Amino acid sequence: MVPPTDPVDLKLLDLLQDEFPLNSSPWKTIGEKIGLSGEEVLSRVRDLHSRGVIRSISPILETGRIGLQASTLVAMQVPGPDIRRVVGIINEYPQVSHNYEREHDYNVWFTLSTRDQDECTRLIREIIARTGIPPDRVLNLVTLERYKIDVRFRFDGDERHG
Amino acid sequence: MDEADMAILQEIEDGIPLSDHPFREVGEKTGLPETEVIERLRALLEQGVIRRFRARINQRKAGLTANALVAWGVDSAKAPITGEMMAGFPGVTHCYRRRPVPGRWDYELYTVHHSRRREDLCSEVADVAAAAGIDSYLVLFSGEEFKRSPTGSIRTVKEEE
């Protein structure tokens, strides 16, 4: 997989991470900012999407506003040969949005968003029971405060941050 | 938020169609005129139900292959002010305060960093550590991505009801 290096693609990736135009011809609106036609923008977006660089163009919802009041980060120590099985169980839950392997004794880390704290605790217990990972090898790191969520990667001319 | 809002959000939570007029297509699928789809989305953005509307990038495929969660050991009393300060670093994409597990895991602040190279990421983390005056922290590089979907799916909320 070769990362995009075309300067127009990089500029486009930056623009697409700003607020997406909510109008009838969004590609045209974006194109006007960088001197491209709407057709050209759409064809580049399709290409970046088919290469997996763009996952999707979608609304990021405020979880609290759609009834999800509790969230946590769970870390587990999973023996290497067991990882596929355990991850398979964890990923079944639609409440799990992110799940990553990390380089630590705690090697499986996933996030959980639920309606309330009770549901969160219940799901973690259920996951522990189903995976058979001992509770003393599981950390439940309940979210207390969010200071920042700004997943934005700068690609155009900023070597350090992308 | 009413039924029509829910229908629209559910239709596009995995992404708007990559077609000439994406919102017209969403309208056709939800039985609403294009103008109404657009008006409703603008209202949801204004009300804060939609936090942002934008492209979700797979940073690894875009060349940012060094990604890490950093766990910071910090006094509880200082956590809020330190968290706000860390959030101010442009390279930090997430900054959270989490409840520690006493005796087993004493880290209370968490940041997420992305870079092309591990050494760049580590030097950014060292800058944050110096600014915060913290010497107890763990850099947890991510390996395989097992799952990554938008946080808070309308489909999930509906299914649970």
Confidence band for B151, pLDDT divided at 50, 70 and 90:
confident
Contact B62/A155, CB-based, under 8 Å? yes
Q: What is the pLDDT of residue B158?
A: 62
Residue B36 corresponds to which tokens in the numbers above? Answer: 């109404």
Contact A145/B97, CB-based, under 8 Å? yes
Examine the domain organization and report whether B41 and B73 are in the same domain.
Answer: no
What is the per-residue pLDDT across B66-102, written as a single tens digit (0 to 9) for each? 999 999 999 999 999 999 999 999 889 999 999 999 9
**pLDDT at residue B36 is higher than 90:** yes
Number of domains comprising chain B = 2
**Residue to test with chain A: of B54, B70, B85, B105, most A Cβ within 10 A:** B54
Residues in B closer than 8 angstroms to A67, CB to CB, are: 157
Q: Considering the entire predicted model, what is its pTM?
A: 0.87
Nearby residues of A102 by Cβ (< 8 Å), 6 or more positions away? A75, A108, A109, B69, B140, B141, B142, B143
- Shortest distance, CA A66 to any CA of chain B (angstroms): 7
> How many angstroms separate the CA atoms of A140 and B18, rounded?
39
Task: Please answer whether residues B61 and A3 qualify as being in contact, where contact means their C-beta atoms are separated by less than 8 angstroms.
Answer: yes
**Residue to test with chain B: of A86, A93, A141, most B Cβ within 10 A:** A141
Q: What is the pLDDT of residue B5?
A: 96
> How many angstroms separate the CA atoms of B156 and B75, rounded?
36
DSSP 8-class letter at A162: -
* Percent of chain B scoring above 70 in pLDDT: 95
- Shortest CA distance from A46: residue in chain B: B18
Residue among A153, A95, A82 nearest B113 (CA): A153
Give yes or no for A30 touching B (CB within 8 A): no
Residues in A closer than 8 angstroms to B14, CB to CB, are: 56, 58
B60 part of a folded domain: no
> How many angstroms separate the CA atoms of B86 and B69, rounded?
13
- Shortest distance, CA A77 to any CA of chain B (angstroms): 13
Topology classification of domain A63-142: Alpha-Beta Plaits (3.30.70)
Q: What is the pLDDT of residue A160?
A: 39
Question: Mean per-residue pLDDT for A128-142?
Answer: 97
Residue whose pair of structure tokens reads 């997989």 in the numeric block: A1
> How many angstroms separate the CA atoms of B106 and A132, rounded?
25
B19 part of a folded domain: yes
Contact B56/A111, CB-based, under 8 Å? no
Examine the domain organization and report whether B126 and B77 are in the same domain.
Answer: yes
* Percent of chain A scoring above 70 in pLDDT: 96
Give yes or no for A84 touching B (CB within 8 A): no
B138 part of a folded domain: yes
**pLDDT at residue A20 is higher than 60:** yes
Residues in B closer than 8 angstroms to A52, CB to CB, are: 58, 61
**pLDDT at residue B15 is higher than 60:** yes
Q: Tell me: ipTM over 0.95.
A: no
Give yes or no for A4 touching B (CB within 8 A): yes
Task: Please answer whether residues B40 and B5 qualify as being in contact, where contact means their C-beta atoms are separated by less than 8 angstroms.
Answer: yes
Q: What is the pLDDT of residue A159?
A: 43
**pLDDT at residue A120 is higher than 90:** yes
Q: What are the boundaries of each domain within chain A?
A: 7-58, 63-142
What is the per-residue pLDDT across B51-69, written as a single tens digit (0 to 9) for each? 999 999 998 998 889 999 9
Q: What is the gyration radius of the CA atoms in chain B, in angstroms?
A: 20
B124 part of a folded domain: yes
Residues in A closer than 8 angstroms to B9, CB to CB, are: 59, 61
Residue among B102, B96, B50 nearest B69 (CA): B96
Q: What is the pLDDT of residue A150?
A: 79
- Distance set, CA A35 to CA A32, A39, A54, B127 (Å): 5, 12, 21, 38
- Shortest CA distance from B58: residue in chain A: A53
- Shortest CA distance from B39: residue in chain A: A22
Give yes or no for A56 touching B (CB within 8 A): yes
Question: Mean per-residue pLDDT for B6-21?
Answer: 95
Confidence band for A162, pLDDT divided at 50, 70 and 90:
very low
Confidence band for A67, pLDDT divided at 50, 70 and 90:
confident
Provide the residue range defining the domain that includes B41. Answer: 3-47
Examine the domain organization and report whether B79 and B111 are in the same domain.
Answer: yes
- Looking at residue B127, which CATH number applies to its domain? 3.30.70.3460
**pLDDT at residue B3 is higher than 60:** yes
What are phi and psi for residue A149, nearest 5 degrees? -135, 105
- Shortest distance, CA A4 to any CA of chain B (angstroms): 6
What is the per-residue pLDDT across B115-141, written as a single tens digit (0 to 9) for each? 999 999 999 999 999 999 999 999 999
Examine the domain organization and report whether B76 and B140 are in the same domain.
Answer: yes
**Tell me: domain A7-58, CATH 1.10.10, correct?**
yes
